[in-house]
Structure 1
Amino acid sequence: MSLSPHEPQIRTRRRVAFVVYDGVTLLDVTGPLEVLHQANQVGNGQYETMLVSAVGGQVTAASGLMLAGTITPKEAGVIDTAVVAGADHLVDEVPSAVLDVTAALAAKAGRVASVCSGAFVLAALGLLDGRRATTHWRHAAAMARQYPKVEVVPDALHITDGRYVTSAGISAGIDLTLALVEADHGADTARAVARELVVFMQRPGGQSQFSTAMATPPARSELMRTIADTVVADPAGDHTLPNLAAAAAVSPRHLTRLFQSEFRTTPGRWVERVRLDRAQQLLLDGHSITAAARLSGLGSDETLRRAFARHLGATPTEYLRRFKSV
């Protein structure tokens, strides 16, 4: 029996509202939107999305492109998830209009997310007080300084704390939204979306925003640049402290001092992180745990497991189960 226009209908789609405004970073909006669009394609219509601004109508992104057809918070009605997109100017000051829109949506959403510096909006409203959160690596120190009640995790891709989900910068919004899709509809749907987007894997939220090579400060000396490049080019090589020191024509003690001065760590720890980066990629490329351990230079399955536990808080099997592509 069909329902009359006056009878209540069961809402089956999850409604997701994006907070947008002049100067917003376009990819913070379009990346997550495309994830949800693809989720609809592979999952027979699971999300209804909308752009919400202070007065509705048109807003201009930082790139100069226009986002048309935005609506007001009142017009948005009932929503399941609110997503606050980021912009560089939020770090200096969050406009009152953006605060008002976000507060109105957060009050009626079961889940509240932010991409990049959108976390500054949630922090300014006090929604992240006493919670763990992340943002773009470039803004993490500023966020920690401005909002000391927030436990800022500067090197995570995305973090969930209660009903709040925050992500790192720009493309990490795609990782965040894939995680939301997985929470809503399971890993199979999220991985199908990742495959459609030609995202070769769904990166774990706790994974570093950078590989060790990218995260390490640039070496000041030619000697240290050469050593670093040698290890990154061949992580499985025989990079013991005596061998590295001999190759650099310095004593092991002096090389250790150079690593502490340049990279703020020991040679052994730095080499292990480079090898872990390589092992992660090898596993995601389909290699076995044993092969990944051998080819990365970590050696044994047990050494690889210890490195995963120490740096990622997960076993290799757990890492693969959640985050490899299919």
Structure 2
Amino acid sequence: MRKVVFFLVPRLHLLDLAGPAQVFSTAADLGYGYQLYYVAETEEVSTAQGVPVKASLAWPELGRDDLIVVPGWRSPRLSPWPPISARSKQVLRTHHASGGSVASVCSGADALGAAGLLDGRRYTTHHDLTEELAARYPKANIVRDVLYVMDERVITSAGIASGIDLALHLVAVEHGAVAAARIAREMVVYARRNGDELQESAMLRHRGHLSDLAHRVQDVIDSRYADRLPLADLARAAGVSERTLTRVFTAATGLTPLRYQQLLRLERAEHLIAHGTTVESASRVVGFEDPRMLRRLRSRTPAATA
């Protein structure tokens, strides 16, 4: 059971907290093994939207698989110092030094910076705060105009709704993009992946539509992309003709079912190759009978390298 601890500071933004909390809570409801905690330096925490929230004063015991998330607080401009104590900074440092992960939403990056966790790393924050944080933490490298950045188990996001994107990405890293797509669909959100790593996951990039038929067929392809999936079989599973399936699927996703499956195979193969797998082995794993097909697909993709 992976623990996700939200560290709450005064005047926090509700959506900075609720967005990622909903992702991990939905993941837990679907059986993906998350346990959520809420910790603060006071038992009641004020929010920027006026709704007080309750939190524990005690930190749970944390391991290297666990995550601390610092939601942002109201900050048209940053306060001279982030509203966290020296003890809380030490908790953040110790958890990261022990192999754990820390994350922030919006101005929560200021807390990570105060704990020394941004130095020498890439990070991002809300666009209104980039110049101030860049000046405050000159040893860090701020990345503008992205939703989230991951650097050595320090994960930062741009702000407000981008906390949802960050959390979906972390679920995808841990449990696969199928799990993230499933959670996004449960939450009825457009599952963007415009972050620092795996920026354009095909599973999520082509889920921003409202066709239930296309979603059902994508569920089949997502879970069996390495198998042979004849159009006739997909149409039979969906209860429509091949012609209707092709028309509806293409209108919803911009791709034919075969092209969508090829993109999933290509993405998985690229991941394997980037981690040392040969083209031939990656080809077999993702379902290509002939590695020449994978090479052809890679040659047509600008980001792919031989």
Q: Does TM, normalized by the shorter one, top 0.5?
A: yes
Question: How many pairs are equivalent?
Answer: 207
Partner of 1:255: none
Matching residue's letter, 1:100: R
The residue aligned with 1:37 is: 25
Partner of 1:82, secondary structure, is strand
Identify the range of structure 1 (89-98 vs 188-197) with the bigger mean alpha-carbon deviation: 89-98
Residues 106-115 or 185-194, more deviating: 106-115
Cα distance between partner residues in 2 of 1:162 and 1:124: 17
For the 8 Å contact 1:28–1:173, the answer to whether it is kept is yes
Aligned to 2:254: 287
Amino acid at match of 1:71: S
Cα distance in structure 2, aligned partners of 1:87 and 1:106: 20
Q: Report the RMSD for the aligned CA atoms in angstroms.
A: 2.9
TM-score normalised over the length of structure 2: 0.61
**How far is the alpha carbon of 1:75 from its aligned partner?**
3.7
Q: Give runs of aligned pairs for residues 143-154 of structure 1, distance below 5 A.
A: 143-154=133-144
How does 1:213-224 map onto structure 2 within 5 Å? none
How do residues 21-170 of structure 1 correspond to structure 2 at under 5 angstroms? 21-42=9-30, 44=31, 46-55=33-42, 57-68=43-54, 70-72=55-57, 74-78=58-62, 80-89=66-75, 91-95=78-82, 97-98=84-85, 100-108=87-95, 110-170=100-160
Cα deviation for residue 186 of structure 1 reads 1.2
% of aligned pairs identical?
Answer: 37
* Distance verdict in 2 for CA 1:116–1:95, change over 3 Å: closer
Q: Distance in 1 between matches of 2:121 and 2:23?
A: 26
The runs of 5 or more residues in structure 1 that have no matched partner are 1-12, 208-282, 292-304, 316-326
Post-superposition Cα deviations, 1:24-74, rounded to whole Å, max 9, x if no partner, equal: 1111111110001110122x251111111114x211111110111x112x4
Q: Distance in 2 between matches of 1:151 and 1:284?
A: 41
The aligned amino acid for 1:77 is E
| 1:102 shift after superposition | 4.1
CA contact (8 A) 2:10 2:46 kept: yes
Partner Cα separation in structure 1 for residue 251 and residue 48 of structure 2: 35
Q: Which runs of 5+ in 2 are unaligned?
A: 198-249, 260-297
Q: Deviations over 1:127-177 (max 9, x none)?
A: 111110000011111111111111000111000001100000100000000
Distance 1:150 1:284, change over 3 A: farther
From the CA coordinates, give the structure whose radius of gyration is larger. Answer: 1
- Residue 118 of structure 1: CA displacement? 0.5
Answer with 150-159 or 88-97: which moved more: 88-97
Structure 1 length normalisation: TM-score? 0.58
CA spacing shift, 1:192–1:92, aligned 2, 3 Å: same
Residues 98 and 121 in structure 1, CA contact (< 8 A), matched pair in contact too: no
Amino acid at match of 1:83: V
